Structure formats: structure tokens, C-alpha cells
Structure 1
């Protein structure tokens, strides 16, 4: 009987071993499948986040564009209703619109129509009598509705230029409240298409600007009449104002991941989409490789397991399972991109993951026992120390902090750490766990975006937006401190002729050189040199009187002469500039405002041009004009 038991017992060991081995392989496959599925969902979630960020940014851009157009429309409506019936009112409006054409930027054109649809004034160089817009939908809407709010219409083909444009319009009334006509601003559909093509959403991705009803106003493709003004989806959710959605277009084999963002101030939304297949393409390739390797390794483990079971039975089987688990853990730990750190109660490092070698350049063994804050930038240490103290006192269980860390090569990187307190079963604190991620690129991108918002891309000077902000700031400071505020407006003489003669690349180089001269001459840290628009520049001079403005203006003229940029179409033979200056004391001149300072400097600039150019004229100065004109005085 003992012999029989001896024969039967060993014969069952391979079956048990095969069952255990099959169970282990199934668990590994299940875990790997779950891990890959999690990775797949992370890819899709990341795409949703990226599309959401893009949609929000583009929505803000469109809101800013529409707000700029709306402010121009309000100004024209005010001018029409204020001067309604006065002699020469339309001629003055036309002159104003012509003068504003060079500064419209992203706005295509401004138009004013009468009650019968005839063109009254426009920024376009056309014969007004040749056109009538009474047949447009927006004109019919304003004529039949007393609503005076802004109307965003469907894309239409411009009668004067032939291009497809988005229309923004307002109604204006006669003094008796009757319909006087329509004021219209247009934005090229192609402008949004070109702008959206700057963002990488993949070959099949789309960015669409739509009305709240879901009609396409513009997208990142070439303007196509068959798409413009038509719905891209059957329904776009309005509540909530933003969110994700999935849909499939006719003829496509893959669902689309989409994020929509409704505007807060205007009735439109931005829809950004990518195909699911495109988002998951790289993941699918990598997952296929990983599963192939995994299956190969599992096949090898099975073969070795069978061999070890036959040779070493249970002992070798347990060793093989342990080795497989350790290998799997090592691959997961080494593949992690974040640093996982265990911080003991004495704030020394008890464990750090292998990714510290890639992120910080230190081997994990070199950091064990070191203080957790030892590699943190000295200026950021109090912030991190305060976080640890708060976690220690139980004020919070988890905190997130961004700070700088020193790498082994002495360079610095920005990291974001999530620190969490860990406790024993009895609730006592036993340490901290920190998950640290390198965010240096994100910080650099954030800084670059902040710079682009206030900097002119061609000259490197402050842009018009930054100038307007500083003008309000310095005006308020001068008002409070009872000091003077100076302004110089500089315009390059005969710049259009320069462009026509030497080409636009040379014109850009000329603008860059003039900008360098202005920046060199305005030496005080409080002075602001800005590109005001086109070939016109502005220098804001806090705490500067008229004599100081004249001295700086003359230095600029001499510096431009010294630069000696050849300009054959300019009487001087080189590039010169006309300069108009104005000074105001906001604390004493209570009726004045920032706009009055710009207006005075502009008048001085125009008089400098009329007086022969290449000269400096201050507001309030009596200037001798050429013999065909009488002397003129610019109002101060």
C-alpha cells in the first residue's frame, strides 16, 4: 500500500504544477490586459484634455476678435447717430474709416449702409454707388427687428472682394427712433482657417467655429461653400457650456473624440475633434509589441516551469513564480516616468524609484538617507517645508506643490510633486509619499505664451495691447503723483514707397532696425517703446516734460540719420521719420484723458508730415508750413 501511494503521489505533481502555471499565466495576461486597457483609456483621456485646452484657448481668441469688431461697430453706430442729418457727416465717417483701415488687424472691413441698403461708407476701396446690401439676411433682420444687439450671421461671399466672410452687424436709428440702416464688420473665413491650421490635431483632426445652432462659420480646412453655414452635427449640447462627446461621420470607420466649448459673451462655440483611431495608433503599435513579447516570455516561462517541475518539483516551481513576479515588478518600476519617494518621519528619504536616474541624474542608492528638501532650490525650500509641516499637523492629508530642483549636473528643473501623508492602522503618522513629475517644458511654454501676449513678433517691442495697458497705468500714476506724462508718436517717412521699391522683406528689416534705434534711445527703465501699428511707433515717457520729449525726439532723428538706411524714394535719400510729441499733467488737467494725449501727439505727427517730414513737432508749438500753407498751431 505504501508503494502504491508512492507511485500515485508523484504522478499528480505535474498536473498541479500545470494548473498553477496556467493560473499564473492567466493572471499575468489579465493584469497586462487591464494595464493596456488603462493605458488606452489614459491616451483617450489625454486627447480629451488636450482638445479641451485647445478649444478653450481658441474660444477666448474668437471672443477677443468679436469683441474688437463689436467695439468698432459701436463706434461707427455712435458716429452715425450723433451726426445724423448734419452736413458732411458721411464724408467725415468715410475719412475716419479710411484712416482706421491700416489698424483693423484681423478685421477684414467696416461698412455702413443706409435704410435702403445703399453703401454710405466703408474701409474698402470701392465705388459705393455700385453696391446695395438690402438683400442680405442680416440687413432684413435689422430692418424688421428693433433689437439693437450684435448679430453674428452666416458666412457670405463678399460683394466687393469675393472672399467668404463672417458678418457681425448692428442696427443704427435716426433721431426719431426709425430704422436708419446697418453697420457691418466682416472677418475673413480664411483668417480663422489659417489660424487653426497652426495647431496640430493630426491629419484627420478638425477645428470648427460654429454658431450656437451648430452651423459651421469656419474650420481648419480651406473655405468650402458646401460646408460653410451648414450643420456639422445633428445637435450640439448647450448645457453644460463645455464637454466631451463622441460621434462618427458618414463614411468614417472610427469614432471621433470631440470637445466643445461655448462662448460666454457671444452665441458661438468651438468644436475640436480627433479620430479615435489616430489617437490610439501609437498605443496600438506599442501594445502589439508588448503583448508579443509578453506571450513569448510566457511561453518560455511555461517551458522552463515544466522542466523545473520535473527536476526540482515544488521548490523550483515556487522560485520560478517568484522570479516572474519580481521581473514584472522591475519592468513596471523602471518604466514609470514619475519619481516615487518614501519620506520617513525624520524627513529623510527611505525609498526612491529608479526613474530618479533619468529625471535628476542620481542613482536611487545615492539619495537614500538624504533629507527630502536637500535638493530643492533654497528659495523654494520654505514652501515645501511648510507643506510637510501642514501634513504632519494633520491640516491636510494631501498637497500639491511646484518648485525647482537641482540635478546632479548642477542644472535646475521645475517639478510638480503630490505629497500625501501615510498612517498606520491605528491612525498614527508614519511618513509621507511624494510622486514627483518633471514640468520644466510646461513652465517654459507658459512663460513663452505670456511673452507673446504683450510682444510684437516682428520688432520685439511691446505690442498695441501692452501699450494701451501701460498708458492707463502711467496715466493713473501721473494723476495720483501730480507728475507729467509724455508721448512720442513716430512714423517712418514714405514707408509704403520703401516697401514698393525694396519689397516687404526689406520693409520688415527696416521696421526691425528702426525699432532697435528707438529701444536704444529710450534708455530709462520706465520708458515704454511700442509698435503702435504698421510703420507707426509710440514711446511712453513717464515724468517727462516737453523739453525732455524734444531732446529724445531729436536723438532719434540723429540716430536714424546715422543708421543710413538707403531709401531712394525719400527726399533725404535715407530712411527718416516724422515725430509728434505731447505732454499732459493728468492731475491738473482734469478734463483730459489718455485718448486726448494720443490725439494731441497724432496731430503733432501729422503737422510734422505736412511741414516736410523728417522733423520733430510738439503739441502746442507754432510751426511754419511750406509756402502754400499758413503757419499752424497744434493744440496742447
Structure 2
């Protein structure tokens, strides 16, 4: 017993020595790596704290600047509502506003606009008629009296970008009297941000709540006006909080950045202060590399000494132990694995099959041994698998991984994933292939479901906006190549918000599903696409369709929605749910300077005109152009 115990201890000695060497090396490397990573985290935390201070300061500056503008705007609104908007009052206010603009550098312009969108004072920055501008329409349609901070707009006179703050003033009878507008130049904000030296490649950006950049330093002229609403800062639910650290790769310049964002509590503003991550970590990286080189050199020295010791201990027992261990391991893995292990001979027949074959393909091992290895593979996948097996038999491939369909005794057909590896004789010649196969049917089903969810609107079952945008580009390119036409219908449910308010959101969802079914019923060709464009708005893409065909389909949809008879008491015109439609058709090959956006814009303008004309109607973009031409002729 004593001799047997001594031999067992001797046999385990190389393993113990190797384990000690590995543990020593791993401990040294682990401790060093942890220390360096902790130093890196400290650098990042310091940068986050610095960015937080900058973001808070600049957010306060932006709020103070808007408060300054708003104080002047409030005074002008009060004077207009007390004294009226007559020429005498406007003349006095114009002088006061000009003096205020001259005295305060951050004020770009202050102006008064009447209820028709005409300037009552000097326009100064944006244009002469603002009927179609967002902030004017906002106040025209909304009775709210608070300040409205609009998206940045471009100065038509000098090309500069400005951010607007406006308030509505009312006539004595309480109706809409016009707008008092004040602006701050994006260049002013950008120049102010230059005072903050936070790094050579740092950046500070003020962004509107809807994702449009208001001002940025550096490269303000390059990036102001760009929309970044599709970035995680605006999409991820985890980032929709008042402020916090934010690590990201900038969509503007491609740099990986460490930042802090701060959302204004009073205005639709987001301040993002960032520093280039590579620049920030460069000093740490240089020092860490130097220190780790010393550590690696020490570990290598220990590893070499340990390897020599282990080799000396193993020399007398390596070959016999390796052969025994190899056979034992193969049996253990093959018999105990939940995956099916098979060995395929050069004649492509199964020489060995593990017991798990019952679970994977439904047949017992003794039923499969000696049968053709590729017999159960789906004919559509057989050529690919056969080609790989042939290449492995010729020695051209050492290993391969394949996914294919295979017959199952009870379930008909399953998806298998097989990892194959060549086996060789002592002389190096190939003598077969070992394959490890697993059932991935559920995984494939999940992949199919995820692919469907990625392109389908969950409420209506129609294509979602992402799928619509992809198909629009594809069909535009196809129509351009084929010199064919492409049509688009934009469909909007009339007064849907009031329907939701009246009947509740479940009824609103049911209404949208009904409209979606009516639209889907018109997608009679394989190339047609019906999509939910957003909210209560739908889109229908009609390849190889001219304006007349588009109008026919649109009118059928409009009548079908009306004839569905869904009661809508707040739709005073009909008492039922109706829809407005805008259509457009074009031949892309004839519009070389236009793009896919031009078709969407044309259909959207037609939809807007249909709404303006009373809703429950279809307008084609050609009709809109004719009406505009007639109006300009008059």
C-alpha cells in the first residue's frame, strides 16, 4: 500500500507542479490587470465628474439665456395685449427691441409677427413670411401661453443658424393675435463653449429635445442642424433620465467618447459634454503598457522555469498516459454528451454513433451504425454538406461547421448544427471524420420569429417604418433600373386623437387594426407593401403603378374605411371614422436629382392638402401642383 501510494503521488507530481506554476503566473497577471483596470476606471470616473460639472454649468447658461429672451418677450406680449398691435405701438416696441438687441450680445433678434405670419417689426433673421414655420403654426393652433422653444432654423440672409423662443399674444377677444419671437445665434453659443478647455478632441453640444443639434463646439457650422434622434441618447429607455454618464461612439465624427448629458428641467434641451476616450486614456495606456511589460517578462521567466521542471517530471510517462487518456476522454465525452457524436468512414458510412442519437434524430445508435451518414439530410442542403465532406476526405479542410435540415424519426425534420473534424492515421493520412451534432430547431424558430418582429408592426401586423424605408430604397432602385413608375399612398385617420379621447385607447387600437386590414386587402401584388408609418398614419408602396392606378387604389381604400361604419361622433362631417389620403407617382429615371425622399414629400404634401380641403378625401400630388399653379396665376 505504501509503494502504491508513493507511485500515485509521483504520477500526480507533474500536475501539481504545473498547477502551481499556472496559478502563480495567473495570480501575478490577474493582480496586475486588476490594478491597471482600477486605474483606468479612476481616470474615466474623473472625466465623468469633470464632464458633469461642464454639462451642469452650460445647461444653466442655456436656461439663463432663454430666460433672458423670455423676459423681454413677456414684456412685449403684455404691451401688445394692453395697447394693441397698431402701427404706433409696434413702432415704439421696434425701437425698444432694437436697443435691447444692441445692448445684449446673446440676443440675435426680437420680432413681432401678426396672425397672418407677416412681420410687424424688422424680420432680422429668418424671412418675411412665417405662416409655414413650425413655431408660428404651434402658436396658431395652440392656445397655450407659455414660451415655446423651437428647433433651430437657418437665417436666410446670412446662412447662420438660430434657436427660437416665442410666445403667443391674443387679441382683445381672446383670439390668436400673433407671435413675439426672439432668437439666439448658434454661433454665440458655440463661441461661449470655447471657454471650456476640457481636451484637445473634446466637444460640447446643445441638442433640442427632438434630437436636432442647436450648437456645437468645435465644428459648429458642420454639425448644427443635424438630427441625432436615432442615437441611444434619445432611444434607450435607460438614458431618458435628467442626467448621467454616457459612453458612446459619436455618429458625427466617429470618435469613441466619454460624456455626461444633462437634460434641462424647464426647456426641451439636452447638453452633452464629451471628451475623446482615446485621448483621455492615452497617458494611462502608456504607463500601463510599460508596467505590464515588466510583469509579462517576470511571468515568462517563471513560466519557462516551470515548464522545464514539468517536462522533466513528465518525460517518462507522457506517451502511455496520453494514449490512455485520449481514449478515455473520447469515450467519456461521446457517451455522456447530450450532443450526438458520430464517426464517418471514408466510405461515408457511420462507424460510431453515441447514445444521444435517440434524442437528436430519433433513432438508436445500433439502427444507424453502418448506414450512409448523409442519408437523412434534406436534398436542398445535401450538396453543400457533400461538398464539405468531400473536401475533408481529400485533406483540403481540417474542420468545418455546418447547419442543415435532417430527418427525424418522430418529428419529421429538425435543424442540426454539426462540427466536423478530420481524423488521421499515424502516417498522417485521412481515415475519416468525427462529427458532433446538436438539435438547433428551437433556435432557428426563434431566429425566424425575431426576424419577423424586426420588420413587422406588432399592433397592426403591417410592415413597420424600418421595413418601409428599406423597401422604398429597394423599389426606387428597381424602378430606376427598369425605367418603370413607382407610386406611394400616405393615409391618415381623421381626428384620431379625438377618437382616442372619446372611446379610449383599446378602441383606438381596434380602429387602427381595422384600417390596417382594409389597407392590407389592397396589397394584391407581391411587390405591394402596406406599412404603419407612425401613429395613425399608414403608407402603401405601389411599384410599377402610375398616378391613375394609385388614385384608384387610394379611392377604394378611402371608401372602404368610410363604409366600415365605425362610429366617430366627434368627426362632425360624417359621424364615422374616415381617412385622408395623399398620393404621388413618379418615374425615378426621369428625376435624376431627386431621391426617395422626394416621393415621400410629394405624397405628404398631397395628404396635408387633403386635410386642409376638409378631410375624407384623396389628393394626388399632381392635383396639388395644379392648385398651386392656379393660385399663383390668380
Coarse TM-score class (shorter-chain normalised) = 0.5 to 0.7
- Distance (Å, rounded) in 2 between the aligned partners of 1:166 and 1:631: 36
Shift of 1:574: 1.7
The residue number in structure 1 matching 2:373 is 372
* Alignment CA distance shift 1:405-1:591 (3 Å): same
The answer (yes or no) to whether the contact 2:579–2:617 under 8 Å persists in 1 is yes
Bigger mean CA deviation after superposition, 520-529 or 404-413: 404-413
1:194 aligns with 2:237: yes
The answer (yes or no) to whether the contact 1:98–1:123 under 8 Å persists in 2 is no
The answer (yes or no) to whether the contact 1:349–1:369 under 8 Å persists in 2 is yes
* Alignment CA distance shift 1:599-1:466 (3 Å): same
* Alignment CA distance shift 1:20-1:428 (3 Å): same
Q: After superposition, what is the alpha-carbon deviation per residue over 1:124-175, rounded to whole angstroms, capped at 9, x for unaligned? A: 9xx9868969899866237999xxxx9864799x8xx8xxx998555699xx
Tell me the TM-score normalized by structure 2: 0.57
Map residues 337-376 of structure 1 onto 2, 5 A cutoff: 337-376=338-377
1:140 aligns with one of 177, 192, 213: 192
Shift of 1:444: 3.4
Shift of 1:387: 0.7
- Distance (Å, rounded) in 2 between the aligned partners of 1:463 and 1:342: 47
2:615 aligns with one of 613, 616, 627: 613
- Identify, as 1 or 2, the structure richer in helix: 2
Tell me the TM-score normalized by structure 1: 0.57
1:94 aligns with one of 134, 142, 150: 134
The answer (yes or no) to whether the contact 1:418–1:436 under 8 Å persists in 2 is yes
Map residues 113-128 of structure 1 onto 2, 5 A cutoff: 119-120=163-164
Unmatched 5+ residue regions in structure 1? 1-13, 34-82, 100-107, 198-205, 220-227, 242-323
1:386 aligns with 2:379: no
Shift of 1:355: 2.6
Shift of 1:351: 0.9
Shift of 1:453: 3.5
Q: After superposition, what is the alpha-carbon deviation per residue over 1:72-114, rounded to whole angstroms, capped at 9, x for unaligned? A: xxxxxxxxxxx99563377655369979xxxxxxxx9844599
The residue number in structure 2 matching 1:579 is 581
- Distance (Å, rounded) in 2 between the aligned partners of 1:455 and 1:142: 46
SS in 1 for 2:380: coil
SS in 1 for 2:511: helix
Shift of 1:474: 2.4
Shift of 1:489: 1.4
The residue number in structure 2 matching 1:405 is 406
- Distance (Å, rounded) in 2 between the aligned partners of 1:123 and 1:394: 79
Unmatched 5+ residue regions in structure 2? 21-122, 140-148, 169-178, 263-271, 286-324
Please provide the CA RMSD for this pair: 5.4
Shift of 1:476: 3.0
The answer (yes or no) to whether the contact 2:487–2:546 under 8 Å persists in 1 is yes
- Distance (Å, rounded) in 2 between the aligned partners of 1:96 and 1:599: 21
- Distance (Å, rounded) in 1 between the aligned partners of 2:591 and 2:226: 37
Shift of 1:502: 2.4
Shift of 1:410: 3.1
The residue number in structure 1 matching 2:311 is none
Bigger mean CA deviation after superposition, 131-140 or 615-624: 131-140
- Distance (Å, rounded) in 2 between the aligned partners of 1:31 and 1:361: 44
- Distance (Å, rounded) in 1 between the aligned partners of 2:528 and 2:631: 27
The answer (yes or no) to whether the contact 2:205–2:217 under 8 Å persists in 1 is no
- Distance (Å, rounded) in 2 between the aligned partners of 1:596 and 1:184: 19
The residue number in structure 1 matching 2:460 is 459
The count of corresponding residues between Structure 1 and Structure 2 is: 449
Q: After superposition, what is the alpha-carbon deviation per residue over 1:471-500, rounded to whole angstroms, capped at 9, x for unaligned? A: 233233333333322221111101121122
The answer (yes or no) to whether the contact 1:344–1:432 under 8 Å persists in 2 is yes
SS in 2 for 1:540: strand
Map residues 512-527 of structure 1 onto 2, 5 A cutoff: 512-527=513-528
The residue number in structure 2 matching 1:542 is 543
